[in-house]
Amino acid sequence: MRNVVDAGFEVMIVGVFARPLTHLLGKKINKHVIDELSDLERKHKINPAGEGGEIETFVLDGPIFKKRIVITDVEIGKEVYSIKDAKLVEK
């Protein structure tokens, strides 16, 4: 995850399926969130990259994309950040 952030990708958490992660729903992944996921890995034995199904992510932007995604409408549930509408915008 650090490599993804360092490479310039903008990624957010859109699904959380492990109780200690629910407060991260809808958050963009940054160094602070990665540190928190690493701490939770030590405490709860979860995979900080979500490889065990603990989290789902959505890529909003990256250096390889010509446009970025801007979310314009969401529905936030207990476990899922549902994107109802979005648009592509120039960088």
- All domains of the chain in start order, with CATH: 2-90 (3.90.1490.10)
Give the span between the Cα atoms of 14 and 74, in whole angstroms. Answer: 10
CB 5 within 8 A of CB 29: yes
Prediction pTM value: 0.88
Report the candidate in 67, 58, 64, 57 with the shortest Cα–Cα distance to residue 88.
67
At residue 87, does pLDDT exceed 80?
Answer: yes
What local confidence, expressed as pLDDT, does residue 45 receive? 83
What local confidence, expressed as pLDDT, does residue 54 receive? 86
What local confidence, expressed as pLDDT, does residue 4 receive? 93
pLDDT tens for 20-64 read: 888 999 999 999 999 999 998 888 888 878 787 889 999 999 999
